[in-house]
Chain A
């Protein structure tokens, strides 16, 4: 399968997965499972930033609409991430020459760099998400706990997803 087509199919599957999980898996009000940082990470690195942002905004908005969330929360966080994922890629992976369809997966890079990159992306994403999801209305301790739990749970899921989906040639 051509790399671009494979990427489109992967996106469609992950969005569907996100919507199904958002509507049927309940892990309490603290945990929010979110694949958007993974989807943003898989955006081609040679893409113009404003196109990446428009794609990310659209993905976030689609998930906001179909999974009973607050409209704009995922869209705003995804847009911010789409602006930063590329500038963050170079210092983390220290890689300048990559193919047009390069995707930073566990198979392509070593686990520690990959983990660090994912951690940064999730940290930025949930910073926006939780800050706008009522940090002024709930206590700082609750928001901080939620922030750390969300990062930990999503990081574990993202790694599992990444390994199972991309660790095959």
Chain B
């Protein structure tokens, strides 16, 4: 009788253990953050309100820094405008290359600062034309990808997340690789899958390649700080990012026009 009860207890223990672990793993695999954001929408809206209030206060004390960043961005935009005007005069820019992207300015309400799976909440939602899978950038940083959208807000999976990969290139020689956060410092990323023959060197600028419908091309994101040869046909480059995503306040949500058409064409043809 005692041994029967003991084996029953053992079976119960194993059963409960397997069931609880299965539930945990399903939650982890189905991306817990996003899932929770959707499930707990009501709680989130209250939290967003509170964050907005506290961020407002924090912004006030950071006005000087923001002002300097805006001035810097303004100067770079002026320089870019001058360059475009020069090119237009030269008839080099055609209608095809203009207005390829839709740009929505937004500000960050919530930014998880120091975790492995970081995310942001922006003050733009479906009412402003935001959709999932839109890119979030600044003039010299990749911020992330829109993961979920509510009416007034959107949830962005930060670039500081091990799941994020961005197609980027070394601007001096156009070698393409995959840029991802290395999980240690928020200012450091790795450009992997760069061909072994690449002449990339320390100090070269890394830019977005534009080989996806999410991020526009030619956004400078950082400089190569070290080149590590890895076995096989590729090498890894350590990239020091220009901006710490954690300190950003203003960003742009971008989407390439006709992106759905491009994605449809990218799919393998149905047999």
Contact = CB atoms under 8 A, between A and B. Distances in A.
Interface of A: 26-30, 48-50, 53-54, 57, 60, 64-65, 68-73, 75-76, 79-80, 83, 132-134, 137-139, 142, 145-146
Contacts of B31: 70
Which residue of B24, B35, B115 has the most chain A CB atoms within 10 A of its CB atom? B24
Nearest to A146: B183
B13 A70 contact: no
Contacts of A133: 116-117
Contacts of A26: 113-114
Interface in B136-195: 160, 162-163, 180, 182-186
Given A73-B32, A79-B20, A79-B21, A29 B27 contact: no
Interface in B1-56: 9, 12-13, 15-17, 20-21, 23-28, 31-33, 35-36, 40
Which residue of A29, A48, A65 has the most chain B CB atoms within 10 A of its CB atom? A29
Contacts of B116: 29, 133-134
Nearest to B13: A49
Interface residues of B, number: 35
B112 interface: yes
Contacts of B185: 28-29
Contact of B32 (A29, A70, A83, A139): A70
B186 A29 contact: yes
A76 B24 contact: yes
21 contacts: A29-B115, A29-B185, A30-B183, A49-B9, A49-B13, A53-B17, A57-B23, A60-B24, A64-B32, A68-B112, A68-B115, A69-B117, A70-B28, A70-B33, A71-B32, A72-B23, A72-B25, A80-B21, A132-B28, A137-B180, A142-B184
B184 A29 contact: yes
A142 B35 CA distance: 27
Contacts of B32: 64, 69-73
Contacts of A48: 9, 13
Contact of B183 (A29, A60, A68): A29
A108 B100 CA distance: 70
Contacts of B36: 65, 71
